[in-house]
């Protein structure tokens, strides 16, 4: 039997860079190994410690464009000078096998998914304040000053879009935020 998205198995997290999406997802996956996290493709350079086909499929712009032109992405967008996209094949396969699928993508991609998968639950992760967001991006110490500036600029646009989402979770206390996400996606009562 093909499990459709209307069964409520596609979930999406969006939020400004540095808000803590990766941290939340790591904990969520360790508590709920049945969730399958989609691995995105990107043209950005790997950060220290990032592994191809595990954190991202790292691609050249030519490879990315080729896959996009073949209709291989569920959605894709440009973010801070690089392309990012969700390869559709694996997502559709996992949904068909009945697994909950989680996407972690930026605003433009979330808007595309809203068009193609209106039943997907879209959660926006917000910071307690803009100052705290900047502290977290800088504290992570993975990005250049230019990349940080681009991400903070984009964060303003993302934060003003939060009311488009099905739910807003403020990542103040990590544990509390995880529990709220678990309730939203129906993993606990
Ligand atoms: P994103 O994936 O949204 O870009 P990360 O998960 O990389 O963000 O988190 C950015 C930084 O913020 C990391 O250093 C992380 O440890 C920290 N962080 C995440 N959640 C919290 C939280 N609730 N309180 C304080 N720091 C946090
Ligand atoms: P980073 O470079 O920090 O890993 O990611 C930058 C932004 O790209 C984040 O907001 C992240 O959610 C977003 N992103 C990651 N993968 C995808 C994807 O497949 N599609 C889209 N649209 N955005 C993505």
Q: What is the pLDDT of residues 52-89, one digit of tens each?
A: 999 999 999 999 999 999 999 999 999 989 999 999 99
For the stretch 165-181, pLDDT in tens is 999 999 999 999 999 99
For the stretch 11-60, pLDDT in tens is 999 999 999 999 999 999 999 999 999 999 999 999 989 999 999 999 99
Which ligand sits nearest to residue 174's alpha carbon?
A: 1
| Best CA proximity match to 17, nearest among 120, 106, 93, 96 | 106
Asked if residue 2 has pLDDT above 50, the reply is: no
Q: Rounded to an integer, what distance in angstroms lies between the CA atom of residue 158 and that of residue 133?
A: 12
Provide residues with CB under 6 Å of ligand 1.
15, 17-23, 136, 139-140, 171, 174
Atom of ligand 2 nearest to the CA of 21: 12
CB-based contact 104:114 (threshold 8 Å): no
84 lines ligand 2 (CB under 6 A): yes
Domains of the chain: 5-184 (3.40.50.300)
| Best CA proximity match to 44, nearest among 86, 92, 84, 85 | 84
In this structure, what token pair is assigned to residue 67? 């896959």
**186 Cα–ligand 1 center, Å:** 23
Q: Rounded to an integer, what distance in angstroms lies between the CA atom of residue 31 and that of residue 25?
A: 10
Mutate to test the pocket of ligand 2, among 58, 102, 105 (most ligand atoms within 8 A of CB): 105
Mutate to test the pocket of ligand 1, among 29, 136, 172 (most ligand atoms within 8 A of CB): 136
Q: Rounded to an integer, what distance in angstroms lies between the CA atom of residue 33 and that of residue 2?
A: 21
Position 189 confidence tier, pLDDT thresholds 50, 70, 90: low
**25 Cα–ligand 1 center, Å:** 11
Which ligand sits nearest to residue 45's alpha carbon?
A: 2
The model's pTM: 0.93
Q: How high is the mean pLDDT of the chain?
A: 92
Q: Going by CA atoms, what residue is nearest to atom 14 of ligand 2?
A: 105
79 lines ligand 2 (CB under 6 A): yes
Task: Provide CB contacts within 8 A for 152, sequence distance 6+.
Answer: 133, 134, 137
Would you give the DSSP letter of residue 38?
A: P
> In this structure, are strands 167-170 and 36-37 parallel, antiparallel, or unpaired?
unpaired
CB-based contact 37:29 (threshold 8 Å): yes
Asked if residue 155 has pLDDT above 50, the reply is: yes
In this structure, what token pair is assigned to residue 154? 């984009």
């Amino acid at each position: 039997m093909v499990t459709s998205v209307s069964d409520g198995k596609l979930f999406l997290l969006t939020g400004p860079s540095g808000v803590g999406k990766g941290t939340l997802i790591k904990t969520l996956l360790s508590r709920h190994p049945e969730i399958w996290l989609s691995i995105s493709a990107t043209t950005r350079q790997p950060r220290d410690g990032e592994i191809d086909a595990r954190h991202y499929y790292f691609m050249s712009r030519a490879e990315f464009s080729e896959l996009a032109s073949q209709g291989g992405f569920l959605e894709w967008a440009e973010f801070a000078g690089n392309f990012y996209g969700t390869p559709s094949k694996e997502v559709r396969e996992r949904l068909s096998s009945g697994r909950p699928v989680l996407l972690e993508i930026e605003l433009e991609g979330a808007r595309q998914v809203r068009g193609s998968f209106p039943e997907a639950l879209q959660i926006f992760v917000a910071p307690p304040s803009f100052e705290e967001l900047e502290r977290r991006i800088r504290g992570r110490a993975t990005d250049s000053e230019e990349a940080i500036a681009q991400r903070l600029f984009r964060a303003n646009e993302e934060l003003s879009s939060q009311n488009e989402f099905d739910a807003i979770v403020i990542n103040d206390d990590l544990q509390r935020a995880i529990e709220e996400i678990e309730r939203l996606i129906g993993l606990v009562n």
